A = this chain, B = another copy of it.
Amino acid sequence: MLNFNFYNPTRIIFGVDTIAKINDYVPTEAKVLMLFGGESARKNCTLAEVREALGAREIHEFGGIEPNPSYETLMKAVELIREQKIDFLMAVGGGSVIDGTKFIAAAVNYTGDTWEILETHGTKITQALPFASVLTLPATGSEMNSGGVVTRKSTQAKLSFSSPYVFPQFSVLDPNKTFSLPTRQLANGVVDAFIHVMEQYLTYPVNAQVQDRFAEGLLQTLIEIGPKIMEDSADYDTRANLMWAASMALNGLIGAGVPQDWSTHLIGHELTALYGIDHARTLAIVLPANLQVRRQEKREKLLQYAARVWQIVEGDEEQRIDTAIARTRAFFEQLGLPTRLSDYGLGETDIEIIITQLKSHNLTQLGEHKTVSLEISRQILATSI
């Protein structure tokens, strides 16, 4: 096992009718800004519930945080907060709203150019406004971690940042809030969480038994949940298990003490920035090809994954690895996520554009061994056509 430093102070308030508990954890005198995305948070009454829970506190609203939140939009919220002297932020939404709120929390009292927060990936953050979240879309894990991704529209750059100052103070997870979500978003959530686990699990063995078992348990859970979530009738428990699995997939726990990859994410980010493909859908394209191209480097863990997650015991080692990758791809497709660039009308010529972007963002040595050069990224993309 590798050395690690694990810290996660976010409180999780989980279950039926838990939004009312917000009142116990927000300072009585707080001036609160509720941040949200589109109007669905208003239509499904979540905003009204949060407002009711906040009682007599002064409440402001900032809507319109887009999927893949933009620096440009977020800076408008920063201005509003400075003007109104708001001192507590309440994100109501999914990963994009929560990521955006983290950036805003760090930016409000940042001394210097706020763009620097992203350029330095959060390392220069030394304070942030206190904030919390009400999660309405299980997927990214942002509700229980200290990282985020923000896009600058002008440069098509998706930049990630993290800082111990931007853990939510608490997050409310009420699985009933997922009943109004379209199936597409739930399916994206399953795949997003699945690949978060894979980035921290499918590298090389360091004999971290607990982390491996936890990762495998999350993958098995998501495989069990997947088909159920595709039925409109998916019950409360299925949604609750998805919600908790997605939080646990990226809260630092399964990644503590093990090597991590993240090349699928970094290549996927370029696909979102260039072509607007949903985040999870980019991952579903890149991961199977990534495992295929780097199968020697990941050999031991691929065999463990095949045996423990998919119960594949037939065939020689190469066959078991082939089957595991094929089952992974089939799982994504069963959930309605295409796994080929060509499914989005992309081909050879687009690969060079993507490679150029990776190069311009200095993403030339990715993965747990830093072996994913531009050439390997090109091979991965070619394999995913």
Contacts and interface: CB of A to CB of B under 8 A. Distances in A.
Contact of A12 (B6, B208, B244): B6
Nearest to A244: B210
Interface string A268-298: 0000000000000000000000000000000
A129 interface: no
A172 to B, nearest CB: 10
Most chain B C-beta atoms within 10 Å of own C-beta, residue among A16, A21, A241, A248? A241
B7 A15 contact: no
A5 B1 contact: no
A361 interface: no
Measured as residues with beta carbon below 8 angstroms from the partner, the interface class of chain A is 35 or more
Nearest to A238: B207
Given A244-B1, A244-B257, A217 B210 contact: yes
A125 interface: no
A240 B15 contact: no
A3 interface: yes
A9 B9 contact: yes
Contacts of A6: 11-12, 14
A261 interface: no
A214 B209 CA distance: 12
A221 interface: yes
A165 to B, nearest CB: 14
A1 B213 CA distance: 21
B8 A8 contact: yes
Given A5-B14, A209-B241, A214-B214, 4 more contacts: A3-B18, A207-B241, A208-B241, A210-B241
28 contacts: A1-B15, A1-B241, A4-B12, A4-B15, A5-B14, A6-B12, A7-B9, A7-B11, A7-B12, A8-B8, A12-B256, A14-B256, A207-B237, A207-B241, A209-B241, A209-B245, A210-B221, A210-B241, A210-B245, A210-B248, A211-B244, A213-B213, A213-B217, A213-B218, A214-B214, A240-B257, A244-B257, A253-B253
